[in-house]
Amino acid sequence: MPYEYLDDIATSDAAFRAWGDSLEELFGAAAEATMNVMVGDLETIAPTISRIIRVEADAIDMLLFELLQELIFYKDAERLLLRVSDLQINQEGDRFFLSAEARGEELDMEKHDLVVDVKAVTLHRYRVEQTPQGWEAMVILDI
Amino acid sequence: MASLSNFIRISDTVWEISTSYKEGMRVPARIYATEKLLEEMDDGVIDQVTNVATLPGILKYAYCMPDGHWGYGFPIGGVAAMDPKSGVISPGGIGFDVNCGMRLVLTNLTFDEVQPHLKGLVDKLFQRVPAGVGSTGFIKISQSEFRRVVELGARWCIENGYGWREDLERTEENGCIAGADASKVSNKAVERGFKQIGTLGSGNHYLEIQVARPEHIYNAELARAFGITLPNQVALMFHCGSRGFGHQVATDYLQLFLKVMEKKYGIRILDRELACAPFHSKEGQDYFAAMKCAVNMSFANRQVILHRVREVFSDFFHKDPAELGLHQVYDVAHNTAKLERHEVDGEIREVLVHRKGATRAFGPGNPELPEMYRKTGQPVILGGSMETGSYLLAGVEGGAQTFFSTAHGSGRSMSRRQAKKKFQGKKLQEDMEQRGIYVRTVSYSGLAEEAGPAYKNIDDVVAATERAGISKPVVRFIPIGNVKG
């Protein structure tokens, strides 16, 4: 798992660090980390429903913010638990674009080990940055 | 852990950090806490409360209440009053869960009458008040009708048969804050929330059956005035907010404010989560009107839950809810920004009070209070952990020192991850049952995160607010049944 939860940050919320060799890998890892706060075992989510996600932003960190917000949105609006695949990130001028396919299914209390709702992505200590190894992000989710 | 060397001791419960602590502080910060609570507070609180002190237009002090802990933007327990003319409004000073709050409802039943039915009652409440990740409620309305709900708040519920007229005056803002404008709210926010009226959500949200034991009545006169008249009287308390709707409203405007704050208004901040806009700017006013919709969604949410509670008790005891004395004591908001009238430099004026994880606590005589509480001061409901108990307090005149604000609960002392490592949900449930607290939960790991020792001692928090003179205890409630979100 290219992410780890951080114990001692923002007492009532959930903080994680995610990483990847490429931006796409990092975004995929951060999406999994976000979903894993809500669902104990992501493998229980069957890929039966698909949604295409397209978001854009004027900075790379806000592009990740938009992606994670989409996952939170679908959880409430359509009660969908989604896992992201086929991520593509492009830059045109000073804007960043992301497209991805997200597959999953409607949440089911019996089937999915539901833990706690993520309300939002916060910007407290939020960062996405390039490292000698690739890319890394630090995110605090509001619980 | 907080080091006392950063503070000037104003009294044994008020601790000040001067403006020299951090560049850009416009006012000092003040933490309300006993020495013990202060020492236990994480450093995040100090960093965040001093960040708040840098916001344009802040008046007097940036405050943190005794249950304060590290949040995002403002600390949890943060209070800041802004000059509406020169100051800002910040979603990070309110929180994503706008108007997350508490409602307290009484019964005329005693512990002995309820105890034999406790499991059945909790099971039924668990069934009828949906909780957990992505939960949806029983009210099926269109998105356009939901836009009416968020403008009308609990009044919409009363008009549609989900409650009693008296519930409204026993709710902050009479259950409907004026100025909510649904045209300022995104479709996304509506889509996230329109099926969620009448749901608890998760995390620290819950619905609890509690008992007021005679030895826990600290002020008999006020207890009577608030309706607690029987030995071992049973009450219900619940904690929830504006659900996905409120979360999206806050997210939408956080993003908008980030775009305009520096470019358009030249405001620089120390934490992006403190993104803000001048209160009187178009963006600031739009957010204020949208945020009020989230305030109203939350009032409607708790109103519908109260309706469900009355149905469950009525079915169970085969009596009308009124015969069972299911009167609401009060409903308080934790996460808001409101225009209120307060004294600043000897003059009564309108200020914008941000409270994030803090409760408004008006003292006796405040014209905003309903007639029935004009003499007593505002009922203040403090939710404790599910293992230890909760409080009903009253607002006092001394509250003027904090813009009539006090604590909102126990306040966490242990992170969710730490709690999950230390406690095991199923075992905790069994242990609690042996101690006479029957809990139903949709998530055992969620339950472990809410274990009693993950919170500060609520008695210490209440004592700090009393000694500081910002609220006073009336009754302590002991939990006997809990529906955990």
Where along chain A do its domains lie? 3-142
Record: contact A10-B71, CB cut-off 8 A: yes
Per CB-CB distance under 8 Å, the chain B contacts of A117 are 132-134, 201-203
- Closest among A42, A29, A15 to A115, alpha carbons compared: A42
Residue B11, strand partner residues: B14
Per CB-CB distance under 8 Å, the chain A contacts of B412 are 11-12
- Phi and psi of B280, rounded to 5°? -90, 0
pLDDT band at A10 (very low <50, low <70, confident <90, very high): confident
pLDDT of residue B3: 76
Beta strand B328-333 with A134-142 is unpaired
CA distances B129 to A106, B122, B137, Å, are 20, 10, 8
d(CA B115, CA B200): 24
Our separate counts of H helices and E strands in chain A read 2, 8
pLDDT band at B143 (very low <50, low <70, confident <90, very high): very high
CB-based contacts of B224, cutoff 8 Å, min separation 6: none
Share of chain B above pLDDT 70, in %: 100
What ipTM goes with this model? 0.96
Q: Give yes or no for residue B176 having a pLDDT over 70.
A: yes
CB A139 within 8 A of CB A33: yes
Q: Give yes or no for residue B203 having a pLDDT over 80.
A: yes
Q: Which of residues 63-82 of A touch B (CB under 8 A)?
A: 65, 69, 72-73, 75-77, 79
Q: Give yes or no for residue B60 having a pLDDT over 80.
A: yes
Q: Give yes or no for residue B21 having a pLDDT over 90.
A: yes
Q: Give yes or no for residue A93 having a pLDDT over 70.
A: yes
What is the dotted CATH code of the domain comprising B4-89+97-413+455-484?
A: 3.90.1860.10
Measure in Å the smallest separation between the Cα of A73 and chain B Cα atoms: 6
Helix, strand, coil percentages, rounded to 5, for chain A: 25, 45, 30
pLDDT of residue A8: 78
CB-based contacts of B265, cutoff 8 Å, min separation 6: B277, B278, B281
pLDDT band at B349 (very low <50, low <70, confident <90, very high): very high
How many of the other CB atoms lie within 10 Å of CB of B259? 14
Measure in Å the smallest separation between the Cα of A128 and chain B Cα atoms: 14
Record: contact A11-B202, CB cut-off 8 A: no
A5 touches chain B (CB under 8 A): yes
pLDDT band at B1 (very low <50, low <70, confident <90, very high): low
Mean predicted lDDT score pLDDT of chain B:
96
Alpha helices in A10-142 (DSSP H): 23-38, 60-77
Record: contact B133-A117, CB cut-off 8 A: yes
Record: contact A9-B192, CB cut-off 8 A: no
Average pLDDT over residues B408-417: 90
pLDDT of residue B485: 87
A7 touches chain B (CB under 8 A): yes
Entry pTM: 0.97
CB neighbour burial string for B285-297, b if at least 16 within 10 angstroms, e if fewer: bbbbbbbbbbbbb
d(CA B290, CA B297): 11
> A3-142 domain in CATH 3.55.10.10?
yes
Q: Which of residues 217-246 of B touch A (CB under 8 A)?
A: 243-244
Share of chain A above pLDDT 70, in %: 100
pLDDT in tens, A40-91: 999 999 999 999 999 999 999 999 999 999 999 999 999 999 999 999 999 9
